[in-house]
Structure 1
Amino acid sequence: MPRPSETKQRILATARELFARKGVPKTSLQEIADQLGITKPALYYHFSSREELVRSIMQPLIDDGDAFVAEHEKLESVRPRELLEGYFDFNIRHRADIMLVLTELTTLSELGLVDRVLTWRERLTALLYGPDPSLADATRAVIALGGLQDCTVQFPHVPAEELREAAVNAAMATLGMAGG
């Protein structure tokens, strides 16, 4: 996969920062271009629309999430603690984009990202409890996976390793697998 140009990377970084600060709907492409000191046509050369720009910002999150789930589905057996640690690591790596997802649920829902995250959680639940989990197990998984993800944004000033230990232990306890 070719690396995006330096200009494209600058556009993505500036757009991410403006979207996080002002919101996606309130950030114009002209504003992004002005912030970068480029023309709007130069911006359109790299991204044909705000939707394409948002998709490009979110694509690494989507690709990494799809790969994480698929990788665990290929395993002969799943070790819950390792799965949760990996899920924590995935979320901490994409913390800034997850914050954007949380603040822009409507916009990102229209792009299908919210459905994608929910599908990942369903697939991870199946890995933890089998293809037909009971309602009690499915709710435990929703709370554990969602809570683990929330911890990565709720405690931004806690060192990642310390937070990982506390969050994974709490998720394991929620799953009823405290020792695993």
Structure 2
Amino acid sequence: MARPSDTKIRIQATARELFREQGVQNTSLKQISDRLGITKPALYYHFSSREELVRSILQPVMDTLEAFVIGREPGEGRLLLEDYFDLIWRYREEISMVLHAPTVLAELEMVDRMWRWRKELTVLLLGPAPSDAARIRSTVALGGMADCVVEHADLPAQEVKAAAVEAALAALGTLGRATP
């Protein structure tokens, strides 16, 4: 018999599969329990709702992204983007969930957290008072990188990383230097 932590991990893995196949909104806890071969009450023992299950999957991602920006100093843009890519590549399944069902973040009240760390990442890249045009370029760069990890997840990570970082730097209008 599996330990509860093992069961939770299995439930989350199965939920990720179903979320990817049919979307978060179209996946019920019953479908997850059926695929796992466990009863719905057994699933409810670990997660009282789909929202709680989704939060358990996304919370570590949000925590890690926040820690990433908090622990950084402004500096070389290329290195920051390379490290950011590595981080979002690790969480590409979760990012895919959000990109395919953006209302999930709103339902879980995580939107403000996401925008906060994205703004902090922009400050690390561009400094404390970037122009509107620079902030727009940062949105393209960071959003484009997130799209790349989802859209090109079937390619080798290093291939995607090299192209995505170069494209982000081009969008920022720099080759690793902070822009005004």
- TM-score, with structure 2 as normaliser: 0.90
In 1, Cα distance between the equivalents of 2:175 and 2:132? 20
The answer for the alignment partner of 1:144 in structure 2 is 141
Structure 2 unaligned regions, length at least 5: none
Partner of 1:153: 150
1:121-178 deviation digits (Å, cap 9, x = unpaired): 2111111222221101111111111111111112223211121111111111221212
Task: Name the structure, 1 or 2, with higher relative contact order (CA <8 Å, separation 6+).
Answer: 2
1:179 and 1:91 mapped to 2: Cα distance?
Answer: 19
Residues 163 and 25 of structure 1: CA distance in aligned 2, closer, same or farther (over 3 Å)? closer
Instruction: Say whether the 8 Å CA contact 2:66–2:117 is kept in structure 1.
Output: yes
Distance 1:22 1:157, change over 3 A: closer
Aligned counterparts, 1:68-147, within 5 A: 68-72=68-72, 75=73, 77-147=74-144
- Tell me which residue corresponds to 1:168: 165
| Higher mean C-alpha deviation, range 108-117 or range 42-51 | 108-117
Q: What are the superposed Cα offsets for residues 83-116 of structure 1, whole Å, 9 maximum, x if unpaired?
A: 1001111111111111110111112322133433
Cα RMSD (Å) of the superposition? 1.7
Q: How far has the Cα of 1:179 moved from its partner?
A: 5.3
Distance 1:162 1:44, change over 3 A: same
Q: Which runs of 5+ in 1 are unaligned?
A: none
Give the secondary-structure state (helix, strand or coil) at the position aligned to 1:6. Answer: helix
- Overall identity of the aligned pairs, in %: 57
CA apart distance, 1:45: 0.9
Measured in 2, the distance between the counterparts of 1:22 and 1:143 equals 28
CA contact (8 A) 1:105 1:114 kept: no
Contact 1:92–1:160, Cα closer than 8 Å, also in 2:
yes
> In 1, distance between residues paired with 2:48 and 2:145?
35
Please name the residue that 1:67 is paired with.
Answer: 67
Q: 1:58–1:97: 8 Å Cα contact kept in structure 2?
A: yes
8 Å contact 2:76–2:176 — kept in the other structure? no
- Measured in 1, the distance between the counterparts of 2:30 and 2:43 equals 9
Query: Alpha carbons of 1:179 and 1:124: their partners in 2 closer, same or farther (altered >3 Å)?
Result: closer
More deviation, 87-96/20-29: 20-29
